[in-house]
Chain A
């Protein structure tokens, strides 16, 4: 029986020894798979990153390019847009948004909002604090406590899908002494950390000692 290249004969039977797929083909397939996987992951990242802009958890100010930059459709008003206040004395503003409004937000990072203690930063249409039952309309009472003196501007935004947004600035002339609000220390789950340590630490110490023991005993053997 004649033997060909890539074959062997065992007990009279012919066996193929050459791999069905050459290394070059396997490498090429591997590259294609890798490119597909990276492409898919990149697409996923881009999609997720792009969709983040529509989430209400965003604290960036609306009206920037590509982020609720279509102004004038939604309506936004307040019971007062210019008045005086004293530090430490709370005042209530009735904010109303309509014509399809989905959210009202008053983030501390906008304009002089950080100079006030604000009772609620984000109100969704139809939520508990929204006193206007109609869909696409929000009415809410927000309590502000001025923290420092000066002419302060409160900036409020309302936003909705399709990049709709409208802002409202309220000027408050604040008098009185500045108030410093103590920042509470972050709460730490000590028991949770300890429970985690109760697993991690004995396991790692045990592993280190085991390796150490094996090395010492083998060396001395």
Chain B
């Protein structure tokens, strides 16, 4: 039984949304600094709720990525040799490992610092940008998975428009 599809869609969606919300929070952090530092304001509440969502999303993403990787290697139709032979699978494996590292880093830093991560400009930017990069790559990896399984992906017109060739 193919387990991999069961373990990939949920965290892919969460991490993609987290990436979009990270952009919103970066905008709030740098564009509306005074508002979000005033407790009780609508923007401060929004900022805090997005931050919590992203934190939970990162944890789910980290666990989901590991589960997705394990079940990916358990796929009966894809032996290790078959995975290695496919350019799409090689890309997916390599960037999945990098993403596991990135989300592990984000999880540890956010757990250790709490919402103090948003205090400094450097730490805010690092945290936010890594979530955006992670989200972009998870969408790309998922799109490649769709391409491998169904022969087409929703991302295809976007990448054709940008001019990025498929592997």
Q: How far is the CA of A191 from the CA of B108 in the complex (A)?
A: 33
* B140 CB to nearest chain A CB (Å): 15
- Count: A-B pairs, CB below 8 Å: 50
Contacts of A190 in B (CB 8 A): 87, 90
A37 adjacent to chain B (CB < 8 Å): no
Contact A216 B119 (CB under 8 A): no
Please provide the chain B residues from 86 to 121 with a CB less than 8 Å away from any CB of chain A in the complex: 87, 90, 93-94, 97-98, 101-102, 105, 108-109, 112-113, 116-117, 119-120
Contact B105 A212 (CB under 8 A): yes
Q: How far is the CA of A197 from the CA of B94 in the complex (A)?
A: 8
Q: Is the interface of A mostly helix, strand, loop or mixed?
A: helix
* A139 CB to nearest chain B CB (Å): 46
Q: Which of B90, B102, B116, B117 contacts A191 (CB 8 A)?
A: B90
Q: Which of A194, A198, A219 contacts B120 (CB 8 A)?
A: A219
Q: How far is the CA of A217 from the CA of B106 in the complex (A)?
A: 12
Q: Which of B94, B98, B113 contacts A220 (CB 8 A)?
A: B113
Contact A213 B109 (CB under 8 A): yes
A6 adjacent to chain B (CB < 8 Å): no
Contact A216 B94 (CB under 8 A): no
Contact B102 A216 (CB under 8 A): no
Q: Mark B13-42, 1 if CB is under 8 A from A, else 0.
A: 000000000000000000000000000000
* A51 CB to nearest chain B CB (Å): 42
B75 adjacent to chain A (CB < 8 Å): no
Please provide the chain B residues from 120 to 142 with a CB less than 8 Å away from any CB of chain A in the complex: 120, 122-123, 126
Contact A220 B123 (CB under 8 A): yes
Q: How far is the CA of A209 from the CA of B103 in the complex (A)?
A: 10
Known interface pairs A205-B98, A206-B101; A216-B113 also in contact (CB < 8 Å): yes
Contact B126 A216 (CB under 8 A): yes
Contact A216 B123 (CB under 8 A): yes
* B15 CB to nearest chain A CB (Å): 17
Q: How far is the CA of A122 from the CA of B93 in the complex (A)?
A: 45
Contact A198 B94 (CB under 8 A): yes
Contacts of A205 in B (CB 8 A): 98, 101-102
- List the A residue with the shortest CB-CB distance to B100: A202
Q: Mark A161-184, 1 if CB is under 8 A from B, else 0.
A: 000000000000000000000000
- Return the 8 tightest CB-CB contacts between A and B, nearest first: A209-B105, A194-B90, A216-B123, A202-B97, A220-B113, A220-B116, A205-B98, A206-B101
List 15 interface pairs A-B (beta carbons < 8 Å), by A numbering. A190-B87, A194-B90, A194-B94, A198-B97, A205-B98, A206-B101, A209-B102, A213-B105, A216-B113, A217-B109, A219-B120, A220-B113, A220-B116, A220-B119, A220-B120
